[in-house]
Amino acid sequence: MNIESIVERALCDELFTVCEIGYLEGGKRSIRRWGERRERLFDLASLTKLFTTAVTLSLIDRGVLSLSSGVSSLLPIASGSLRKRLAPITVSQLLTHHSTLPAWHPFYVHATMDFYAALETALTAEGASSGMCYSDLNYMLLAQIIEEHTHMSLESAIKTLIIEPFGLDDTTYHPDPSHCVPTEWGNRIERKMVEERNLSFDGWREEGRAIQGEADDGNAFYYFGGTAGHAGLFSSTDDLLTFASRFLDGFISETLKESVFTDWGDTRGLGCHSGELFPCNGWGHTGFTGTYLYVNPTDNRVLTILTNRLNVPDPRSIHEFRIAIARACLAC
């Protein structure tokens, strides 16, 4: 089945209402779009983690941090019990999701607490994980480390170290809403997650309108004010292709880049992962809103798939769609 047929079938099945696919190989890029809307910026959701990763790697490359740096030693944590809990965790474990931190917690139910107090509450409520556990909390901590060691806000650090030198014109935490593809109607999914924890929150966005130009992720929007290490960035297909190509081409030392695309356990590299979702020996990341970025460090091929999968009556997994598109584009 060709790409056109795969996308048209997905649109008919209401997997999303807008889709853009970008492909870059040998310096040549192509971008195709489906859907009636003309906005060009997508809520990247967890693809934001790749930008946080890029800043972290830049600091490692400059000797400001190391992969073996302990989290407790990098942050001004007043609580002795929190310092003790984080003491065994290293930067590499945050990047590879082997930190033992829980997958998620709604920080916004603790809106009056500062980050470290809310984190300690979250760790008590959720408990520890074991093995590889994909966790937003890892990237919340990386954001704190970045701010502490660049002496800049996270937004300024990403802009100064990544967005401006890479020449990214569309990537921002604060987009013009009229340029953004709509996502979910309120936080329907997170609302259920909060209820399942027997917690309460009364600040939900109304479900009668689609979220547009605001981070869909609840922690990013309600707690961090739209600027977070794990979510919150908006970008375009063109910018993502440029970001990935610049990342692959001399952004960091070859030795560190080799570490990025090494399996540190459970198919996790530094800030990315491999496996079925990334065929032909690729690596990449996905985002909850329906985003996807694929890179192949061997031949420098890049693929992006941007959708708004939450902007439908019944949001479902689009993993099979992503795999089908990747295989069709990569011919494997």
pTM above 0.95, yes or no: yes
Query: What is the pLDDT of the chain when averaged over all its residues?
Result: 97
Look at residue 5 in the predicted model and tell me its pLDDT: 97
Domain membership of residue 69 (yes or no) is: yes
The length of the chain is 332
Domain membership of residue 83 (yes or no) is: yes
Q: Which of 189, 318, 167 is nearest to 243 (CA)?
A: 167
Residue type, 40: R
Domain membership of residue 197 (yes or no) is: no
As a whole-number percent, the residues of the chain with pLDDT over 70 amount to 100
What is the rounded CA–CA span in Å between residue 189 and residue 191? Answer: 5
Question: Which tokens is 118 given?
Answer: 């809310």
Place of tokens 């909390």: 137
Look at residue 36 in the predicted model and tell me its pLDDT: 87
Count of structural domains, the chain? 1
pLDDT of residue 1 exceeding 90, the answer is no
Place of tokens 């689609």: 210
Whether 270 and 95 have beta carbons less than 8 Å apart is answered as yes
What CATH number does the domain containing 281 carry?
Answer: 3.40.710.10
Q: Per-residue pLDDT tens for 312-330?
A: 999 999 999 999 999 999 9
332 band by pLDDT with thresholds 50, 70 and 90: confident
Q: What is the CA radius of gyration of the chain?
A: 19
Q: Per-residue pLDDT tens for 154-201?
A: 999 999 999 999 999 999 999 999 999 999 999 999 999 999 999 999
Domain membership of residue 214 (yes or no) is: no
Q: What angle, 0 to 180 degrees and rounded to 10, lies between the N-to-C axes of helices 136-150 and 48-61?
A: 40
Q: Domain range for residue 57?
A: 1-36+44-169+238-332
Domain membership of residue 183 (yes or no) is: no
Domain membership of residue 149 (yes or no) is: yes
Q: How many CB atoms lie within 10 A of CB 150?
A: 18
Q: Per-residue pLDDT tens for 220-270?
A: 999 999 999 999 999 999 999 999 999 999 999 999 999 999 999 999 999
Structural element, H or E, at residue 254: helix 254-260
DSSP letters for 51-105: HHHHHHHHHHHTTSS-TT-BHHHHS----HHHHHHHTT-BHHHHHHT-S---S--
Q: Per-residue pLDDT tens for 31-82?
A: 999 998 899 999 999 999 999 999 999 999 999 999 999 999 999 999 999 9
Residues 6+ apart with CB under 8 A from 114: none
Domain membership of residue 216 (yes or no) is: no
Q: Per-residue pLDDT tens for 290-304?
A: 999 999 999 999 999
